[in-house]
Structure 1
Amino acid sequence: MTSGYLFFSGGACALLLLAATKVSVNHRRLAAGRWLILVLIGVICYLLLPTLPPLTGLMGLLMHLPVILVPAAFWLFTHLLCREEEPFPRWGWIPIGLSIAFSIAASHSPIPLGRSAEEVFFNLSQFTRLGLIGLGMLTLHGQFHSDLVEERRRLRAILLIAVGTYMLIVISAESLFAYRPVPNGVPTLHALLASLLSLAACLWLLALSPSALGDSLLQPATDIPEEEAPPPAPVPTLDEQQQMQLAKLQKHMESGGYRYTGLTIRELAEQLDTREHLLRTLINRHLGYRNFNEYLNQFRIDEASARLADPEQAHLPVLTIALDIGYRSLSPFNAAFKRRHNQTPTEYRRDKLPA
């Protein structure tokens, strides 16, 4: 192993360990924080492995396991970061399980395998790992424009552009050079990129925006004992212009502005003749919503609940009501309604309008 790789990988590991310590101290109680710590530990192990003597048996598996889990942990972290109101999909555990199984079979199978079988499992593991990272990047990209938390929007962009792309490049390079000589300089270049990313992450977490991760993650009250919970942040005082804008927004929404199908925050800002970033701040900081769709759902589900409980509208199909209040289809309406009432629209109507 070249001295250049040892130097840059050592620096990257030190910086990543510092970042993992910071996340552990502040966010270890959160599931998202724990998955992020696992990602950081996995990257540290990945950079250390080429500097160690060949490891076999249980020790080899234990050293490689954090590396194997990085793509899954990355997807789980992005889901908790961006889809805080939705449970992780059950089907997601299938590709995660396959990725882990294929990776272990490729390098740490308890049963001796032939070279051809190892190559098959290796290619399958690379394919599933790329798929998990791709799903994580899709999660980061999904509903990006609906996100009202400015720090989280920045974090999404950083993860999407830098970390996600880096992981895709690394796994693609592994596949490309798995059965051919690695050109001189490639390992050192890889370590240099890792150290630069690690340095940027530490500067961002520790100096430029130390509260960014905390602002981005939703922290349930149950995760922190009441006596340790910090006091709620004071709501910024509205100036006269903001008060007028807030009154205009509330009047527009109460008159049915939320019924526009596929309404975006940019379109709403145009309807109110205001700037998009000012409207984001108003809804997030003064009304307490972290996602624009969550804000719209508050009005839409209120109207749907009233109409489903109205005997005069009992003849209307649920789909008709969903389309009337701004949903494109029944599925997102059902999901939003169930999050509010813990029952489907049909079950709610049955309870409110017994035969």
Structure 2
Amino acid sequence: MIYLDLALRGGAVTILMLLALLLWRAPINLEGRLSVSALALSESAFLVITAALPLDLHPALLSNFTLLASFTPAATTWLIVTIFLDAPGQRWPWLIASLVTSIALYTHEAFPSLFSVCLPMSVVLYGALVILSLWSSRDDLVECRCRARPGFAAAIAGLALFLTAGQATGLLQEDGIILALLQATGTLVVSLAFAVWLLRPDANLWPGETTPDIDSRLPIHDEFADPALIASIKSAMTAGIWREEGLTIGALAGKLAVPEHRLRRAINQGLGFRNFSSFINRARIEAACAALTAPTQMNATVLEIAYDVGFASVGPFNRAFRAEIGYSPTEYRRITQTGASADSEKLAPIAANLH
């Protein structure tokens, strides 16, 4: 059983290392490559130091492997939010929480009593990642990601949740052969499935920069374009459907009397948006920019403008506005009113891109 564990771990480490190397030749962005490489390194180190048969490693090497292994929660989180959250601003809370968990795991090597705290932290983190993988699908327009979410959640975060919860509840003994075999087998199977999914030549899996224009942009993929549906979408947007507070893709599909999957494909493949929020917010921010600079609305507050363009509160409006424009609504109004700041020159290409 011990040698089976070693064989499984060796296979998993080999696949993880090959996957990390091959992705550096794939047409994906730098963050995608780095996140996969970080997970491959940390998980490989974890597999080495938790083998059922303790390996005779030099103390310095063992210390480095332990440090790398401790950052498995952070690396796992980084990969998941990189794939499933397109907006960088949405990733930071997850990354900070995962780093705190990883630091706590590393610290417990010096203070073993902290282990009883580290495990619940890991359970909560992985459980939240499973929920994130599934819940964020409501806003996702990329079909291949939507289909992969349940399996991805179960494979990556679900496996980690199962193993850490088993340890936290005492069902799996930390030094037991059963836990070791589950770790090795689970990682090997997940690594194989993950490699098959990631190595497909589909750069659309990963977040990327887009500069779509819902009024004039030609379809990205003609074979997926539905001219009649795209025309209906543009007509609805021109009529101001985006002003409806809490508008979802399901609600829009109902109003257009089309299946939700067809609407997702049309907005993604035909108009170039990766998630529904960015599609709706583009129109809202364009209207907000016009209102903030309109002489007739100089007395209107930022909150009033936020409500008028469809936001439920000023917080989400400020975040969406800053993500799109690079300034807060108040800063944007001040810059455009004075017209003397050098920053006003930066706003010209941004405003042109919105229209």
The TM-score range, normalised by the shorter chain, is 0.7 to 0.9
The equivalent position to 2:317 in structure 1, one of 333, 336, 339, is: 333
For the Cα contact (< 8 Å) 2:126–2:161, is it kept in 1?
yes
| Aligned mates of 1:196, 1:57 — CA distance in 2 | 30
For the Cα contact (< 8 Å) 1:15–1:199, is it kept in 2?
yes
Deviations 1:149-204 (A, max 9, x none): 11222343332122101011222233445996756644334432332222322333
For the Cα contact (< 8 Å) 2:28–2:206, is it kept in 1?
no
For the Cα contact (< 8 Å) 2:284–2:309, is it kept in 1?
yes
Aligned partner of 1:40 in structure 2 is 40
For the Cα contact (< 8 Å) 1:133–1:168, is it kept in 2?
yes
Alpha carbons of structure 1 residues 149 and 93: separation in structure 2 relative to 1, 3 Å: closer
For the Cα contact (< 8 Å) 1:259–1:326, is it kept in 2?
yes
For the Cα contact (< 8 Å) 1:75–1:135, is it kept in 2?
no
Deviations 1:74-133 (A, max 9, x none): 2222222233323366666654554344333322x3xxxxxxx422x2223333333443
Alpha carbons of structure 1 residues 98 and 188: separation in structure 2 relative to 1, 3 Å: closer
Aligned partner of 1:140 in structure 2 is 133
1:22-171 equivalences in 2 (<5 Å): 22-26=22-26, 30-49=30-49, 50=51, 51-53=53-55, 55=57, 57-87=59-89, 95-107=97-109, 109=110, 117-119=111-113, 121-171=114-164
Aligned partner of 1:313 in structure 2 is 297
1:188-227 equivalences in 2 (<5 Å): 188-206=181-199, 210-212=200-202, 214-219=203-208
Alpha carbons of structure 1 residues 59 and 236: separation in structure 2 relative to 1, 3 Å: closer
Alpha carbons of structure 1 residues 58 and 186: separation in structure 2 relative to 1, 3 Å: closer
| Aligned mates of 2:259, 2:129 — CA distance in 1 | 30
Aligned partner of 2:341 in structure 1 is none
Aligned partner of 1:227 in structure 2 is none
What's the CA shift for 1:290? Answer: 0.9
What's the CA shift for 1:257? Answer: 0.9
For the Cα contact (< 8 Å) 2:119–2:168, is it kept in 1?
yes
For the Cα contact (< 8 Å) 1:81–1:217, is it kept in 2?
yes
| Aligned mates of 1:63, 1:273 — CA distance in 2 | 56
Which 10-residue stretch deviates more, 71-80 or 11-20? Answer: 11-20
Question: Number of residues paired by the alignment?
Answer: 330
What's the CA shift for 1:302? Answer: 1.1
| Aligned mates of 1:351, 1:325 — CA distance in 2 | 21
Aligned partner of 2:216 in structure 1 is none
For the Cα contact (< 8 Å) 2:306–2:314, is it kept in 1?
yes
TM-score by length of 2: 0.81
What's the CA shift for 1:42? Answer: 2.0
Partner SS state of residue 4, structure 1: helix
| Aligned mates of 2:174, 2:300 — CA distance in 1 | 67
Alpha carbons of structure 1 residues 92 and 290: separation in structure 2 relative to 1, 3 Å: closer
1:248 maps onto 2:242 in alignment: no
Which 10-residue stretch deviates more, 159-168 or 123-132? Answer: 123-132
1:237 maps onto 2:239 in alignment: no
For the Cα contact (< 8 Å) 2:17–2:40, is it kept in 1?
yes
| Aligned mates of 2:173, 2:36 — CA distance in 1 | 33
What's the CA shift for 1:340? Answer: 2.3
For the Cα contact (< 8 Å) 2:139–2:275, is it kept in 1?
yes
| Aligned mates of 2:324, 2:133 — CA distance in 1 | 24
1:287 maps onto 2:271 in alignment: yes
Alpha carbons of structure 1 residues 334 and 19: separation in structure 2 relative to 1, 3 Å: same
1:300 maps onto 2:290 in alignment: no
For the Cα contact (< 8 Å) 1:98–1:128, is it kept in 2?
no
Which ranges of structure 2 fall in alignment gaps of 5 or more residues? 211-218, 339-355
| Aligned mates of 1:89, 1:167 — CA distance in 2 | 20
What's the CA shift for 1:261? Answer: 1.1
1:211 is aligned with what amino acid? P
State, as a whole percentage, how many aligned pairs show the same letter. 26
Alpha carbons of structure 1 residues 286 and 177: separation in structure 2 relative to 1, 3 Å: same
For the Cα contact (< 8 Å) 2:220–2:271, is it kept in 1?
no
Alpha carbons of structure 1 residues 126 and 243: separation in structure 2 relative to 1, 3 Å: same
TM-score by length of 1: 0.81
